[in-house]
Amino acid sequence: MKFKAKEILFILIIIIAFVIAGFLRDAIFMSINSQLYKLYFKNYDYTLPSWLSYFDSWPYMKLYYFKYWLTAGFILLYFLLSILSLRLVVGSYSKSKWVIYAYGIIIFLSILTYMGGYFLNNFPKGFLFTRNMIGLLQSPFITMVVIPALKLEENKSLK
């Protein structure tokens, strides 16, 4: 499979965007988790980075629940990056349904396992599995599966 120079440039831009999103996500969550640890145990010396100092005055529970909103925001960011990546590499939005299906299925399974863990009296395992599934949505994993699959399908149909 040969790529044109334009496709190679788009692929590099996509990779850079995913790497930046990953580092940003990691930096934010690691900092907030350290701040939560500090607030909870009250004997941990930690100072948020200056660009996150806005959260320094937040109480523990507000910061804790804000992480859920951050998670949703990063899922949306990775979803949009996946759709854009698909558009740039495949050449149209018509195949975006595969990204939408993948995100929808993983979100549905996450809700199902979360509720299953809760109702079956095994919340820690249900939560852990849900957390891992949601982690897939905050990574380039779906893009790394869907784009090659669509490219293979495209090449197969050209023969």
Per-residue pLDDT of the chain (159 residues; tens, 9 = 90+): 566 787 788 889 889 999 999 999 999 999 999 999 999 998 888 889 999 999 999 999 999 999 999 999 999 999 999 999 888 887 778 889 999 999 999 999 999 999 998 899 888 888 899 999 999 999 999 999 998 888 888 777 766
Domain assignment of residue 10, given as a range: 5-158
Contact 35, 55 (CB under 8 A): yes
Q: How many domains does the chain have?
A: 1
**Backbone φ/ψ region at 36: left (φ over 0), alpha (ψ -120 to 50), beta:** alpha
pTM: 0.88
